[in-house]
């Protein structure tokens, strides 16, 4: 049996997971709507605050997109369900990858809905929707890798879940979205080379301003992080996977 | 007071709870003041949001008891439901009282501008009780602790935003401002504004009374769920 055949069922499972849909689609829609109402027309240094905040908010919700993948991997490979999965005539490792693939597509679709909503309803300037989707895909992939590293590296799944939240909230705090961060070389360095939120935003912003070199540099940083985390995920995953 | 003691022990046994109960309140003390908004140092503006998170984490124990059938066993034990609920709620209130003391005393010692620390403490305490009652009422509609917590997380962000804790209240559209009066977070915001700008003492008493009325109503809603 081809593991890709299960993709359809994973997608169905994700679509029926109403709580995740609520957290990753409905809440962002409401928050973006309220912020758009609050910030309508407000400017800072000649730039509409609405553009910056909406783009950052759509990107930040991608940081939590890995939660659904880590939860399915945990359920299917680390609980009683694993005996059923292993008894199936398919490559269970490939099945793990199909869950990752489905999770990435799921995050991208939710991101696309938010991008289209903000640009159509509130005229948020995204530069290019295609480029933004590309960046959303990268940040979604990275978040899934990071979440899976926590799933495999920590024995207690609840702690792994909390760590993935720390990763998301930490990125938001470091990006200065809750309150301005101090101008320290360490924090600036993290935001430039490690914080997926600021790197992704830099890329969208640079594309918007037609600074293609800067836009591609950020993409290169994101891709490097994805490759690095993927390798770490594979190494820790091979040790833990049944 | 056996249930009370166990509720305290159980609350501190959970590692994530420790983060919520100890690390975040201490971190809140050190968050800086902002030039334009909010008038209170940032940690003290966001402390209301933290109180809501702590309340849902703590009251989750009661939901867990219902999930695992502990409540049924309590029904067979020589203790009334009222006593069981009261002791649990008292334990949660004690923990939150401790947090409020730490945050206020810490802020005063650190030198944060808290305007009227004692009144701020009273306000936080009143809001903590409201938050516990709200979380209790919220949990009574759920069977699973996880679903309750996850959905409440979104609700916290929304009510904090609409209540004026996360963005300046004056910037919200007028119709949202009118609607947000029904939210407990709005009354916390009003209380903080009163502490910063001052005003008639009766206004502050009114704000705290509204929070107490909310607590009473929500406690009634939260405590009438049947065991089955």
Q: What is the pLDDT along chain A (242 residues), one digit of tens a residue?
A: 677 888 899 999 998 888 888 888 888 898 888 888 877 767 766 677 788 888 999 999 999 989 999 999 999 999 998 899 888 888 888 999 999 999 999 999 999 999 999 999 988 888 888 999 999 999 999 999 999 999 999 988 888 988 898 899 899 989 888 777 777 888 889 999 999 999 999 999 999 888 999 999 999 999 999 999 999 999 999 887 76
Shortest CA gap B222–chain A (Å)? 22
Q: What is the mean pLDDT of residues B127-137?
A: 96
Per-residue model confidence (pLDDT) at position B226? 60
Nearest beta carbon to residue B167 from set A26, A38, A180: A38
* Subunit contact B150:A37, Cβ cutoff 8 A: no
Q: What is the pLDDT of residue B227?
A: 54
A179 and B34: CB-CB below 8 Å?
A: yes
pLDDT value for B54 = 92
Q: Sign (positive/negative) of CA torsion B122, B128, B133, B134?
A: positive
Closest C-alpha to A35, from A177, A167, A131: A177
pLDDT of residue B143: 84
Sequence-ordered alpha helix ranges (H) in chain A? 7-15, 18-21, 27-39, 49-62, 66-78, 81-87, 92-121, 129-153, 157-174, 185-193, 196-208, 212-240
**Looking at beta carbons, which residues of chain A come within 8 Å of B32?**
179
pTM of the model as a whole: 0.84
d(CA B171, CA B96): 31
- B160 and B48 Cβ atoms separated by less than 8 Å: yes
Q: Percentage of residues in chain B with pLDDT exceeding 90? A: 51
Q: Which residues of B7-20 are buried (b: 16+ CB within 10 A; e: fewer)?
A: bbebbeebeebeeb
Higher pLDDT, B203 or B224: B203
> In the predicted model, what is the mean pLDDT of residues B178-186?
94
Q: Does the beta-carbon distance from A30 to B42 stay under 8 Å?
A: no
| Residue A173 contacts residue A152 (beta carbons within 8 Å) | no
| Chain A residues touching residue B167 (CB < 8 angstroms) | 35, 38
**Mean pLDDT of the region B75-98:** 92
CA terminus-to-terminus distance, chain B: 25
Q: Quick one: tokens of A118?
A: 């903000």
- CA A237/CA A231 separation, integer angstroms: 10
d(CA B58, CA B98): 14
With a CB cutoff of 8 Å and minimum separation 6, the contacts of A134 are: A219
User: Running DSSP on this structure, what letter comes out for residue B77?
Assistant: T
pLDDT at residue B186 above 60? yes
The string of DSSP codes covering B104-141 is HHHHHHHT---SSHHHHHHHHHHHHHHHHHHHHHHHTT
Q: Which chain A residues are within 8 Å of B15, Cβ to Cβ?
A: 159
Do the Cβ atoms of B32 and B44 come closer than 8 Å?
A: no
Q: Are A70 and A150 in contact (CB under 8 A)?
A: yes
More confident residue, A182 or B131: B131
> Phi then psi for A47, rounded to 5 degrees?
-115, 140
φ, ψ for residue A43 (rounded to 5)? -125, 150
pLDDT over 70 (residue B151)? yes
As a whole number, mean pLDDT of residues B9-30 equals 83
d(CA B219, CA B14): 25
Q: What are the residues facing A48 on neighbouring strands?
A: A43
DSSP conformational letter for A208:
H
State yes or no: ipTM above 0.85.
Answer: no
Q: Give the closest of B42, B147, B154 to A27, CB-based.
A: B154
- Which of A179, A182, A183, A184 to mutate against chain B (most B CBs within 10 Å)? A179
Between CA A53 and CA A93 the distance in angstroms is 39
What integer pLDDT is reported at residue B37 of this predicted model? 80
* Confidence at residue A70, expressed as pLDDT on a 0 to 100 scale: 93
Q: Which residues contact B36 (CB under 8 A, 6 or more apart)?
A: none
Band of residue B12 on the pLDDT scale cut at 50, 70, 90: confident
- The distance of Cα B57 from the centroid of its chain, to the nearest Å, equals 10
Q: Pick the residue of B13, B150, B154 with the most A CBs within 10 A to test the interface with A by mutation.
A: B154
Containing B38, the helix (H) or strand (E) segment is none
- Name the interface residues of B facing A (CB cutoff 8 Å): 15-16, 19, 31-32, 34, 42, 46, 147, 150-151, 153-154, 157-158, 161-162, 167, 171-173, 176
CB A122 within 8 A of CB A54: yes
């Amino acid at each position: 049996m081809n593991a890709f055949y299960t993709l359809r069922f994973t997608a169905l499972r994700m679509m029926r997971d109403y709580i995740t849909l609520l957290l990753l689609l409905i809440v962002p829609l409401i928050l973006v709507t309220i912020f758009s109402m609050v910030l309508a027309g407000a400017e800072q240094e000649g730039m509409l605050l609405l553009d910056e905040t909406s783009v950052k908010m759509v990107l930040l919700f991608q940081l939590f997109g890995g939660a659904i993948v880590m939860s399915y991997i945990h359920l299917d490979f680390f609980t009683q369900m694993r005996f059923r999965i292993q008894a199936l005539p398919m490559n269970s490792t490939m099945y793990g990858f199909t869950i990752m693939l489905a999770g990435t597509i799921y995050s991208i679709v939710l991101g696309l809905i938010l991008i289209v909503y903000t640009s159509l309803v509130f005229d948020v300037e995204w530069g290019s929707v295609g480029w933004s989707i590309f960046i959303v895909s990268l940040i979604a992939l990275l978040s899934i890798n990071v979440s899976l590293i926590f799933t495999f590296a920590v024995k207690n799944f609840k702690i792994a879940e909390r760590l993935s939240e720390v990763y998301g909230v930490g990125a938001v705090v470091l990006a200065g979205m809750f309150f301005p961060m101090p101008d320290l070389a360490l924090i600036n360095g993290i935001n430039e080379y490690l914080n997926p939120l600021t790197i992704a935003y830099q890329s969208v912003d640079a594309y918007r301003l037609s600074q293609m070199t800067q836009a591609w540099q950020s993409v290169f940083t994101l891709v490097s992080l994805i490759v690095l985390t993927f390798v770490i995920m594979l190494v820790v995953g091979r040790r833990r996977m049944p | 007071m056996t249930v009370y003691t166990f509720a305290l022990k159980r609350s501190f046994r959970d590692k994530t709870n420790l983060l919520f109960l100890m690390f975040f309140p201490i971190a809140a003390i050190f968050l800086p003041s902002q030039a334009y908004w909010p008038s209170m140092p940032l940690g003290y503006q966001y402390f209301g949001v933290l109180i809501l998170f702590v309340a849902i984490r703590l009251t989750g124990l009661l939901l867990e008891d219902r999930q695992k059938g502990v409540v049924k066993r309590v029904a067979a034990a020589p203790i009334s439901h009222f006593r069981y609920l009261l002791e649990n709620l008292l334990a949660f209130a004690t923990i939150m009282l401790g947090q409020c003391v730490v945050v206020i005393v810490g802020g005063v010692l650190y030198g944060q501008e808290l305007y009227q620390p004692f009144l701020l403490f009273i306000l936080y305490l009143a809001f903590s009780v409201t938050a516990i009652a709200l979380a209790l009422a919220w949990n009574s509609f759920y069977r699973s602790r996880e679903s309750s917590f996850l959905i409440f997380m979104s609700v916290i962000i929304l009510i904090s935003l609409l209540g004026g804790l996360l963005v300046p209240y004056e910037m919200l559209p007028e119709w949202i401002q009118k609607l947000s009066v029904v939210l407990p977070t709005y009354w916390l915001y009003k209380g903080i504004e009163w502490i910063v700008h001052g005003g008639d003492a009766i206004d502050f008493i009114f704000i705290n009374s509204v929070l107490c009325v909310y607590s009473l109503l929500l406690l009634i809603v939260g405590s009438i769920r049947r065991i089955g």
